[in-house]
Structures are given as C-alpha cells and as structure tokens.
Chain A
C-alpha cells in the first residue's frame, strides 16, 4: 500500500497547527514592535502635552541619582531578557509553522523560554533585595513554578523523542 499519503484528517490537523502558529508568529513579529512604537509615541505626545493621560493615584517622587541608576540597570537587564525571549519565541513559532513539531530544535526553544522566565524571576528577586527597600513583596512564586514547569515539559518531550528514536533504530 502507499504509505506516503497522509490521511485527510492528519493533513487538516497539521494545517491547523501551521495556521495558528503563523498567526502567532506574525503577531509577535509585527504586532509587538507596533505596540512598542505606539506606546513610545503616546509617551512622546503626552510629554509635549498634546494628549492627557490618566495620572497615578500615588505618583512616585522624583527619584535620587542612585535610584535612577538602579532602575536604569533594572530596565536594561529586563530588556535583554525580553529580547532573548522575543527571538526564541519567533524561532519556535517559525518551526511550528513549518510543521516541525517535536524535534531537538523546538525542544531547545521551549527549554530556553523556560530558562528565560526563570532568569526574569531571578533578576526581579535580586533587584528587589538590592533596591532601596528590600522586601519579598515584589516576588511572585508562581513565576518560579511556571518556569520549572516549562523547562520540565521541554525536557520530557526531549526524552520521549530520544526514546522513540532509539526504539525506531532497534532491531
């Protein structure tokens, strides 16, 4: 029999996965930069008093120089983490769009995303304790669990893939 043909149901499922992955990748690739540009534009317009933005109920006081350096460093670190996340997410959804589902590359992307989430948690933890008012208040443990869950799922998929490869090659 001809085993090259896939059943129509399988084709429909793969097409669905590819379409959804494409939508998400396009949103990440163009939507997020547009959002950032839009937010910056609104900020610029607000600073020139061309538009009015709602004020915070408890506006922060003008920070001291050391606090500015600290928040600047925090911003740079978080930006680096987000850039890594952005690049990995684009790569992952690009693989899904091409129909590459559970290979070593996709598993690596999933694990990197989990590690990035964990790194973000660590950065927040360190900056919360190094900052002017050290406290546990800014820490969300659900970030830690989520990162471990993603890393574990990636590792599990990788192990299952290796088991399957070994079984396929076993005579």
Chain B
C-alpha cells in the first residue's frame, strides 16, 4: 500500500464522498449513476473513462483492498486530514470519515445521518428480483430469435415452392383451376408470376428486401437483449431503423395501391413507424441525459 501525500488525497476523497449525497430525487438519480464507481470491493473498471475518474481511481486505489488495510488507509487519512474540527468543513469531513469507519465496524451505518455511503458496500451484486427480471428478458429474447429463425426458414420454403410452381407453369402451361396467387398488396394480386408488370415486380422486390432487413435487425436487437444490453447505442439504432423500415413498407404498399388505382389508403403504417422512431429518439436522449449526469461531479 503506497502512501499518497495528504494534499493530493484529502480533497478528492471528500469530494468523492460528497458526490454520494442523496438529498433529493435528482441526487438519487446521480447516486444511481455512481453505483458503478462506488464499488470499493473491486477495482473501478473501464466503464468510466474520463480523466477525472482516472484520477479518482489513482487516488483511491489503496482503498480497493481487504477490510484491514482499508481501515488503516482511512485511519491514516483521518490523522492526516488536518482539517480544523471547529470549522464547518472540518466537522463535515471528520463526520464523513468517522461514519465511514463506523460502517467498517459493521454498525451504525445510518445512525444520525440522513444519507448513506454506498461506496463502502458491494454494489456489484444485483438483487435476486432484478436478476430474475434480466433472466426473463433474456429468455423471451431467445424465444423471439427462434421464432424469427423459423419464419425465415418458412419464407425460404415458400420462395422455393413459388419458384417450382413458376417453373411448372412455364413448362406445362396454366392450370385448369387458379391455385397460385401472388399478392403484393390487397389490390395487386396475380395468378401467374409472368403476368406481373415490371414496376410492380420491382416495388415488390423492394418491399421484400425491406422485410428481410427488418428481420435481420430484429434478430440483432434480440441478440443484444439476450446479451443483457438494453439501452445502448446499438439497440437504439436497431429500433430506429426498424421504425424506418415500417415506414418504408407502408410507402411501398401505398405506391402499389395507387398503381392499382385505389384511393382507399391507410396511414396506420406511417403513424406507427413514426411512433417507433420517436420512441427510439426519446430513448437515445434519455441515455445521453443519464451519461451526462453520470459524468457530472
């Protein structure tokens, strides 16, 4: 354990404890953000990469040890604090140190104070309820991924059947009874693939491509949820692109219906696509707000 000069140690130490004051709801929000930094049982990991936190890590490294050495380090600080006990700052600093020591003695954790010092606890452990919720999310994400896989296989089978039916149609001519229907939209249905106009075929291909991209993105999104990443940039990007794909599919449907000279158009696809993009944007803004709060000292 190396000793750090008093003047480099005391102020960051006090400042670090100040950051854990949870006097109001905003403070509590801040508190949540600092849980990852407040863990003294293990070294602070690379989640906080700013220079300020790197300095804090250097200052507090010798706290990241078993309890005996922790006690010694804190006691050393108490001796070296050099703050006047009569001044407000001095009283406060010694109060902080004193209560930290009393917590180390496993008693009086919250005695006489209106806040607590989470940095002395192991905040890496997740409560059993939270663990079961995370597991539930992972299981459901896996189920959805399996369903998407099954859907992709079914679509490939249908495409293969369609191809075989087209070849049979080409070889043996049209059947007596119309059994094959190719539908691009409610009013764009054809009995033979060779009767489909080229523009309809192109727009149908675009629609199919968008559907395929949507399935790939859905699979990626559920994979991220299965891994335990919920509100990262990649998740939000997937949700935003899924919203844009829903809008794209609505657009292709609308164009196909207009080409069939139908004026009975629906805007629900557009509305829900915009809603999904809007929710993704709000999640992104919320994520940025939380990141800014976490990095605010």
State in angstroms the CA–CA spacing of A57 and B32 once bound together.
Answer: 62
Chain B contacts of A56 at CB under 8 A? 261-263
State in angstroms the CA–CA spacing of A120 and B266 once bound together.
Answer: 12
Instruction: Verify if A112 is at the interface (C-beta below 8 Å from B).
Output: no
- Asked if A101 and B129 sit within 8 Å, CB to CB, the answer is no
**B272 touches which of A96, A117, A157, A171 (Cβ 8 Å):** A117
Once A56-B262, A149-B218, A152-B144 are accepted as A-B contacts, the answer to whether A168 and B130 lie under 8 Å apart by CB is: no
From A13-21, A41-49, A62-70, the one touching the partner chain is A13-21
Question: Which secondary structure dominates chain B's binding surface?
Answer: helix
- Asked if A142 and B211 sit within 8 Å, CB to CB, the answer is yes
- Asked if B23 and A3 sit within 8 Å, CB to CB, the answer is yes
State in angstroms the CA–CA spacing of A56 and B268 once bound together.
Answer: 22
- CB of B53, distance to nearest CB on chain A (Å): 16
State in angstroms the CA–CA spacing of A60 and B21 once bound together.
Answer: 71
Chain B contacts of A153 at CB under 8 A? 239, 276, 279
Chain A contacts of B273 at CB under 8 A? 146
* Smallest CB gap from A113: residue in B: B275
From B58-66, B92-100, B161-169, B281-289, the one touching the partner chain is B281-289
- CB of A167, distance to nearest CB on chain B (Å): 6
Instruction: Verify if A164 is at the interface (C-beta below 8 Å from B).
Output: yes
Chain B stretch 13-31: residues in CB contact (< 8 A) with chain A: 15, 18-19, 21, 23-24, 26-28, 30-31
- CB of A68, distance to nearest CB on chain B (Å): 16
State in angstroms the CA–CA spacing of A3 and B27 once bound together.
Answer: 5
Instruction: Verify if B38 is at the interface (C-beta below 8 Å from A).
Output: no
- Asked if A149 and B268 sit within 8 Å, CB to CB, the answer is no
- Asked if B130 and A137 sit within 8 Å, CB to CB, the answer is no
> Digit string of A111-138 for contact with B (CB within 8 Å is 1, else 0)?
0010001001000000000000000111
Q: What range describes how many residues of B lie at the interface? A: 35 or more
* Smallest CB gap from A28: residue in B: B271
From B43-51, B181-189, B191-199, the one touching the partner chain is B181-189
Instruction: Verify if B134 is at the interface (C-beta below 8 Å from A).
Output: yes
- Asked if B269 and A24 sit within 8 Å, CB to CB, the answer is no
- Asked if A159 and B133 sit within 8 Å, CB to CB, the answer is yes
- Asked if A171 and B292 sit within 8 Å, CB to CB, the answer is no
Chain B contacts of A167 at CB under 8 A? 32, 35, 126-127, 130
- Asked if B26 and A166 sit within 8 Å, CB to CB, the answer is no
State in angstroms the CA–CA spacing of A116 and B166 once bound together.
Answer: 38
- Asked if A17 and B285 sit within 8 Å, CB to CB, the answer is yes
State in angstroms the CA–CA spacing of A168 and B282 once bound together.
Answer: 22
Instruction: Verify if B170 is at the interface (C-beta below 8 Å from A).
Output: no
* Smallest CB gap from B293: residue in A: A10
- Asked if B292 and A10 sit within 8 Å, CB to CB, the answer is yes
Closest 10 CB pairs of A and B: A57-B261, A3-B27, A163-B130, A138-B186, A13-B285, A170-B127, A10-B289, A166-B130, A159-B133, A137-B183
Given contact pairs A120-B268, A136-B183, A145-B218, a sample of 6 additional A-B residue pairs in the complex whose CB atoms are under 8 Å apart: A3-B26, A6-B26, A137-B189, A142-B211, A163-B133, A167-B32
**What are 5 residue pairs bridging A and B, where the CB atoms are less than 8 Å apart in the complex?**
A1-B18, A9-B292, A89-B275, A168-B31, A171-B121
